[in-house]
Chain A
Amino acid sequence: MRSKTNSSPTTFTRLVAALVLGVLAIASAALGEPRSIIVASTTSTQNSGLFAWLLPQFTAETGIDVKVVAVGTGQAIRIATNGDADLLLVHHEASERKFVSDGLGLARHPIMHNDFVLVGPVADPAGVRGMSEITVALRRIAESEQIFVSRGDDSGTHKKELEIWTASGFDPRPASGSWYREAGSGMGATLNTNGAMGGYTLSDRASWVSFGNKGDMEILLEGDPPLNNPYAAIVVNPERHPHVRVREAQAFVDWLTSARGQAAIATFRVDGQLLFFPDVVPDGV
């Protein structure tokens, strides 16, 4: 241990000071964005690229920065319930109506819709291709004990899937772990899992079309009315959470439901396909 230690404490101190300043810079950058809102939304709207298409247009017009936290509908509702988001944009009507009736949110505004599709292996070992009713198809998969991968994450798609099972009169839960597999993940991760297992799964169309690893999977059933998938927006109730940026959040809802916002939704395409159909302006396409 030599004692030539006094020569360079300054360098070290400067380094530490620079790093601490860096942290402060991040902190101040985070605080210094007055006109921004947090939207709790679903993976389908995010992963399909819809937000990446809409948000720059909205921000250019209004100067409001929109930050999207993309999780399952169930988790999105919990985030909004805790007041950690200003706006909810999800796809499970019953949960949305409950959110409003519980006084957690203001009005429910329908924005757009698409549909769910049954995705499975091209070989279709359960033989459900071309069926018209989703409940019959799920029963067929269950009875032939072919692998079905469930989201298992309390998302809108998961809730929808469970509703369809209930309607089919078949309870898949006892088969959990055998042919009925609960992935506990987002749509994309579930599609990856399903592809690797050669199973069947329910997906929203937007996630499916924009999914990059389709492999040996294809749509086997679509168009059944119960597969409708409506999206709605709800501003978080400021009486519950006074910090909620109601004006900015409402401005985003107003824009989404305006002719311009609806036209923006109607012009969003992946591989030439329209993924979300605007609900407010019927002829907006």
Chain B
Amino acid sequence: MMLCILMRTGLRTHETIWGHRRPCDRFSNMNESSSAIGTALSMIATLDADLFEIVLLSLQVSLGAVAIASVIALPLGALIALQRFPGRRAVVILLNAMMGLPPVVVGLMVYVLLSRAGPLGSMGLLFTPTAMVIAQSIIVLPIIAALSRQTIADLHEEYGEYLRSLGCTPMQSIATLLWDGRFRLLTAIMAGFGRAIAEVGAVIIVGGNIQHSTRVMTTTIALETSKGNLALALGLGVMLLTLALSINAAALVISDTARRRYG
């Protein structure tokens, strides 16, 4: 983590300023779709400092949001899966529906909350990465909660009797099922991450797409598209896809390996 911070501060003094001398400018007149991959490769090859900063912030914000949301959503999902209470079906339906929360609406709600004119304005969090983490946490929380509820419900159907026979309290059951289902729950977490890293509507509102501060990959793609730099925007899109693919593949490999080792 220290390393990340050191790298970030180091990058500020880097002399290339995006918008002036980009290594990929030479692609801008070529056919957009065919040069997108070339642009992406060129950007990776030259390791443009500004681009690196943007990718790093994207990962920090989205992984941070997923971590916060998971801490809340996994126990919440398990609780709803195991506990019987009035209105439980309605809660499940609501949770499932909330998976479709439009990011732009969440962004707007967080914006209103964090604005200086809003209830949490005195914290001065609007247009900071923290605001982006908050917005994305809200977006991915229902996804992780709803999917983990399903996973835990399935597990409980299998092992509920067994846990009861051991005399487990509900809390113990929840903890046990969460721990034993951790590899399956990874899918829920990855679904949340996928949503977070791909999302632009919320982060552009609460982050403001500020260069060297709150600019992430998706907001950069939106910006470059609006500047008419379509090849560059597509190149960034290719990078974003590659990144999401790598992280999902890594998660799968780790989980498979761990499952084989620890069952």
A residues apposed to B, CB below 8 Å = 1-2, 4-5, 7-9, 12, 16, 18-23, 25-27, 29-30, 38, 43, 47, 49, 51-53, 56, 67-70, 81-84, 185-189, 191-192, 210-214, 241, 243
Task: Evaluate whether A69 and B209 lie within 8 angstroms (CB atoms) in the complex, with A19-B67, A25-B5, A84-B115 already known.
Answer: yes
* 26 pairs of residues in contact across A and B, judged by CB atoms under 8 Å: A1-B159, A4-B262, A4-B263, A8-B262, A19-B67, A22-B64, A23-B64, A25-B1, A25-B5, A27-B133, A30-B125, A38-B127, A47-B227, A49-B17, A52-B20, A67-B210, A81-B117, A82-B117, A83-B121, A84-B116, A188-B227, A189-B225, A189-B226, A211-B227, A213-B229, A243-B124
Bound CA–CA A188/B19 (angstroms): 14
Q: Interface readout for B63-97 with A: 1 if CB under 8 Å, 0 if not? A: 11011101100000000000000000000000000
Kindly provide the distance from the CB of A259 to the nearest chain B CB, expressed in whole angstroms.
23
Chain B residues near A212 (CB, 8 Å)? 28, 227-230
**B103 in the interface (beta carbon within 8 A):** no
B residues apposed to A, CB below 8 Å = 1, 4-5, 8, 17-20, 28, 60-61, 63-64, 66-68, 70-71, 115-118, 121-122, 124-130, 133, 158-159, 162, 176, 179-180, 182, 208-214, 223, 225-230, 258, 262-263
Known contacts A27-B130, A29-B8, A212-B227, then 14 further A-B pairs from the complex at CB < 8 Å, ordered by chain A residue = A9-B179, A19-B63, A19-B67, A20-B71, A22-B67, A25-B4, A47-B227, A52-B18, A82-B115, A84-B126, A188-B227, A192-B226, A210-B227, A211-B227
Whether the Cβ atoms of B225 and A192 lie closer than 8 Å is: yes
Whether the Cβ atoms of A188 and B130 lie closer than 8 Å is: no
Pick from B70, B158, B213, B225 the residue with the most CB of A within 10 Å. Answer: B213
